[in-house]
Structure 1
Amino acid sequence: DQAWGLFQASVAAHDNHVAYYGATEPTGHPDDKWGWAVQLALSIKNIPTGAGDVINISGVYTDGASRYNFQNLSGGSYSMFGSSGVAYQSVGFAIAPDTVFVTGSSQETVKTWGFRGAYTHNWDPYWNTALYGAYAQAQFGSLAKTTLCGAGGAGGVFGGLAGVTGCNPDFAIGQVGIITRWTPVKNLTFSADLNWTHLDQKYSGTVGYAGAGTTAKPAAVYELKDQDTIALLLRAQRNW
């Protein structure tokens, strides 16, 4: 940590301890499996655009510890809906667990990587604006892909469903946003955060969705495709 900025390296270990194969203890469970994550971060201060301006960049790689990437970014599971020209609507599914297993198997780790960066400019002592972006990928192993999609992506639990023409649980998330903060007095900040998120999922075709009350979506045929969403967060924060 110097006047010019900060360089940081961090590691984490995560013990994946899961429940039972079935609903009761006699069904057994897989052995624990350790996961890990490593992150490198760089902060550059004293840049010529203004006093207090800063550029922050970080990159992370995880193996069996997905939460250190996705939960820090935008959550670990998605069920996003949009428009479609061939079905009732479209949907994008994605989930980033730490490990996966099936009855009788050991745990298979899920690998992820990602990076994020931001540039913050101070307009005056009370106002600042930050531009930020992030990208992350989740990559599943052979156990998950074979179980979900079968050999070659044309079978398994999901890939064998009627209408599914492409099956791969791997996915990526990209984000771009801008946030402006106003701090009229010390420890009180008002902010407006506009964010665009893109889900790049690898499924294709159509799928019969059973519907869910939590999303207010009816049972219908949905097209499997990438999704986009825009969110605006208005926030007031008081620190004591």
Structure 2
Amino acid sequence: MKRVKTLLLGSAAGLCAVAGAQAADLPVQKAAPVEYVRVCTAHGAGFFFIPGTDTCLRVGGRARFEYQYSSQNARATDVSSWRGLGRLNIDARTATPYGTLRAFIRFEIASRTGGYLRSGTQERFANAFPATGIDTAGQLQKYVDVDKAFVQFAGITAGRAQSFFDFYAGDLELIGSGQYSNTNTNLLAYTATFGSGFTATISIEDPIYRRAPVFAQAAPLSMGQGNGFGPALGIAGVSSIATGYFPGTTIPTGGIGVNVIQKNDMPDFVGALRYDSAWGSAQVMGSVHEIKTIGRIGTPVAVGPDAEYGWAIGAGVKVNLPQLAPGDQLWLQGAYGQGAGSYTGLYGPPGGDLALSNVTNKFQINQVDAVLQNNGQLNLTESWSVMGAFLHYWSPEWRQAVFATYGQQNFDPRLRNNNFGPVGITGGAPLGATGPAGPGAPFVNVFNPTLMSYDQFYGGTNLIWSPVRDLDIGVEVVYQRIWLPRAVANNNLGTFAPLAGGLVTTGGAARVTSFDDNVMARIRVQRDF
């Protein structure tokens, strides 16, 4: 028995030895190394390396709810506005021998309804809600916006980005709508860094996003020109300029048809000198904006007014005030321009090529960069603005901003002379009523709705609660007012009855006004990540 056990054990040992020898001859399969996502600290918090590359990526975004109530006076205007907005930020950075190579993209996707938050020119895109019914036309819009998409490398910025003219751009407001420049545009810029916080930038920028129309009054029918576009509304179109006058009169002896619609020619040129330090920031900036119409119509060669060059200058300062509370800030800014109302912040958004009031609906004003004069020249419109804003943290969770802006648009007084001003403008009291200068009076009639200079104020306050990080729950109240300092206008909200010779109020006299105002209340809930 003992011999049998020994034999069995020896056989088992031999089999194990043979199996082990064969196993040693087989190739060994090693598991592939796992490349985990690594944190990238070189460019700030939130960045990580894209696996297999040396590029750091940060993905962020925003979800926002907004509601606004506006004290509009006209029945045809929405008083409630709603918006739900989603934002996606993608920031990619790579270290190179020439500095950081950066690509930044920001998409905004939203659904908005009502009057203030919508864009009537963008009511249908791709699969958007059509908004074509009798109760929805102009009332609802779904949209996707490439808010920013630019590349930065070795001092160069190329793509869609914030204009380098901008300084304060509504930073402390829920919805920035005051008199200051706040424009995303297509641009190519170079920034030189001098050290000690100083930088200088020169930028060529897309003029479309800065364009306001040229005012052109329709020509008298006797001249055989004009296109019936409703020139009193300031719509760019076809007008005419006089080629001569009967001696001692303002009656033209002939005219040339001119198309005053603008087309792209030269880009806008923007320059900015900026200083940044622990105490805050300061900037001076300037811009040049070409205004050029198509020119003469009806001939192979376009001949018309020479191009004019609008311009704007500005300066701003931001002061950090940690001595009051951590995070406190004070902003001050001013701008002045000729033929560049977008840079001073006086005009509406791109595409607003009509008369706008931007307040309620008592009257309309023309927001134009230039006026085609009777003598064929372009007269540039003057505008200026000032603003101030202050942010205070009552506690780490509660903060409040107070802000105010004031601006003014002025037309050259000489434009109120028929022999110098726009072709076809006639005097007379409004709609045949009797005004201070009487029926048939010259253009200086204060009731004439065309080319009215105006002043505008916009100011308010907001209170924001942040119970946890990156969550804001806020309310804002804003007051907006517009004046006609040297004129009065027909009050569109008045009750009129038709009478021979024109329209007058039921009381027998035209109802007029010299100001318009509005109060807006807003609510926002926002989460950033």
TM-score grouping bracket, smaller chain normalisation: 0.7 to 0.9
The Cα shift of 1:141 comes to 1.1
Aligned length: 220
**CA apart distance, 1:50:** 1.2
CA contact (8 A) 2:346 2:383 kept: no
After TM superposition, list the pairs within 5 Å mapping 1:62-211 onto structure 2.
62-71=337-346, 77-78=356-357, 91-102=362-373, 105-147=376-418, 156-157=425-426, 160-161=429-430, 162-165=433-436, 166-167=446-447, 169-201=452-484, 202-204=486-488, 206=490
Moved more, 31-40 or 226-235: 226-235
Instruction: Decide whether the 8 Å contact of 2:383 with 2:410 is kept in 1.
Output: yes
| Partner of residue 85, structure 1 | none
State the identity %.
21
Question: Residues 62 and 239 (structure 1 numbering): CA distance in 2 closer, same or farther, change over 3 Å?
Answer: farther
User: What is the CA distance between 1:111 and its match in structure 2?
Assistant: 0.7
2:389 maps to amino acid: A
Structure 1 partner of 2:516: 227
Please, what is the CA RMSD of the aligned residues?
3.7
Cα distance between partner residues in 1 of 2:511 and 2:358: 12
Mapped contact 1:79–1:94 kept (Cα < 8 A): no
Distance 2:302 2:405 in 1: 41
Structure 1 partner of 2:287: 12
Cα distance between partner residues in 1 of 2:526 and 2:417:
47
Higher CA-based Rg: 2
Equivalent AA in structure 2 for residue 100 of structure 1: V
Q: CA deviation at 1:29?
A: 3.6
- In structure 2, relative to structure 1, the CA distance for the partners of 1:208 and 1:104 (3 Å cut) is farther
Q: Secondary structure at the match of 1:195?
A: strand
Question: Over residues 84-112 of structure 1, what are the superposed CA-to-partner deviations in whole Å (9 max), with x where a residue is unaligned?
Answer: xxxxxxx3332321111146512110011
CA distance in 1, matches of 2:358, 2:298: 26
Partner SS for 1:92: coil
Please tell me the residue identity of whatever aligns with 1:225.
S
Counterpart residue identity of residue 4, structure 1: W
TM-score by length of 1: 0.74
Question: How far did 1:131 drift?
Answer: 0.5
Structure 1 residue 171, shift from structure 2 partner: 0.8
Q: Does the CA-based 8 Å contact 1:128-1:182 persist in structure 2?
A: yes
Q: Report the Cα offset of residue 42 of structure 1.
A: 1.2
Question: Separation in 2 of the partners of 1:196 and 1:11?
Answer: 30
Distance 2:456 2:516 in 1: 10
Unaligned runs of 5+ residues in structure 2 are 1-275, 437-445, 496-503
Higher strand share: 1
**CA offsets 1:165-205 (integer angstroms, 9 cap, x no match):** 42571110012201223345555434322110111113226
Within 2, Cα distance between the matches of 1:140 and 1:21?
Answer: 25
> Secondary structure, in 3 states, of the residue corresponding to 1:144?
helix
Q: CA–CA distance in 1 between the matches of 2:468 and 2:279?
A: 28
Equivalent residues of 2:454, 2:483 under 8 A apart: yes
TM-score (norm. length: structure 2): 0.36
Higher relative contact order (CA 8 A, sep 6+): 1
Aligned to 2:333: 58
- What's the CA shift for 1:119? 0.6
Letter in 1 for 2:393: N
Unaligned ranges ≥5, structure 1: 83-90, 212-218
- What is the aligned partner in structure 2 of residue 88 from structure 1? none
Name whichever of 229-238 and 24-33 sits farther off.
Answer: 24-33
Rounded Cα–Cα distance in structure 1 between residues aligned with 2:525 and 2:475: 9
The CA deviation string for residues 34-92 of structure 1, in whole angstroms up to 9 with x for no partner, is 1111111011112532111111000000111011123578998317557xxxxxxxx33
Aligned partners of 1:148 and 1:157 also within 8 Å: no
Shift of 1:4: 1.6
